[in-house]
């Protein structure tokens, strides 16, 4: 079995140029990271704003940033972190397995839009939350 870092997957996504407006793929049922569909939701994050920390017990996140740029930080061990910046310039899907503390920061410009395509529906008892200052990470 691989390390927890091996379970964080960044998948480059296809952008198709179309006259009148491009098509940006996000997720297909045939993608290897697809498990099950629970829900999809969008979240705005302002430039410089930090939304941290959460740890899902069962939910796998599939994160896409079609507007702006966002830095995602996953804690993979004591004082060990994996960071991924995704957005318009690096259009990709970030798959984050359950059991990891994670947070994110808007890098802008302006507001960035995050899409999460989750494998289960939101359940408030399924997620743990902690203050941004509880985990020693220099945003």
Written as tens digits, the pLDDT of the chain (139 aa) is 445 566 888 888 888 888 888 888 888 888 878 888 999 999 999 999 999 999 999 999 999 999 999 999 999 988 899 999 999 999 999 999 999 999 999 998 999 999 999 999 999 999 999 999 999 999 9
4-129: what fold? Jelly Rolls (2.60.120)
Find out whether the peptide bond into 12 is cis, omega within 30 degrees of 0: no
The reported pTM is 0.87
For residue 20, what pLDDT is reported?
87
Q: Give domain limits for the chain.
A: 4-129
Can you say whether residue 119 is alpha, beta or left, with left for phi > 0 and alpha for psi between -120 and 50 degrees? alpha
For residue 1, what pLDDT is reported?
44
For residue 33, what pLDDT is reported?
83
C-alpha 7/C-alpha 83 separation (Å) is 14
For residue 23, what pLDDT is reported?
87
How many alpha carbons fall within 13 Å on the CB side of residue 67? 12
């Amino acid at each position: 079995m691989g390390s927890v870092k091996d379970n964080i997957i960044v998948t480059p996504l296809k952008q198709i140029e179309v006259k009148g407006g491009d098509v940006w793929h996000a997720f297909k049922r045939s993608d290897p990271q697809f498990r099950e569909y629970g829900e999809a939701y969008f979240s705005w994050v302002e430039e410089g704003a930090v939304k941290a920390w959460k740890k899902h017990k069962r939910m796998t996140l599939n994160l896409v940033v079609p507007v702006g740029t966002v830095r995602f930080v996953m804690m993979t061990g004591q004082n060990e972190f994996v960071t991924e910046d995704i957005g318009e310039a690096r259009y990709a899907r970030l798959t984050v397995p359950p059991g990891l503390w994670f947070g994110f920061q808007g890098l802008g410009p302006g507001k960035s839009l995050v899409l999460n395509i989750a494998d289960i529906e939101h359940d408030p008892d399924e997620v743990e939350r902690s203050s941004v200052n509880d985990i020693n990470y220099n945003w």
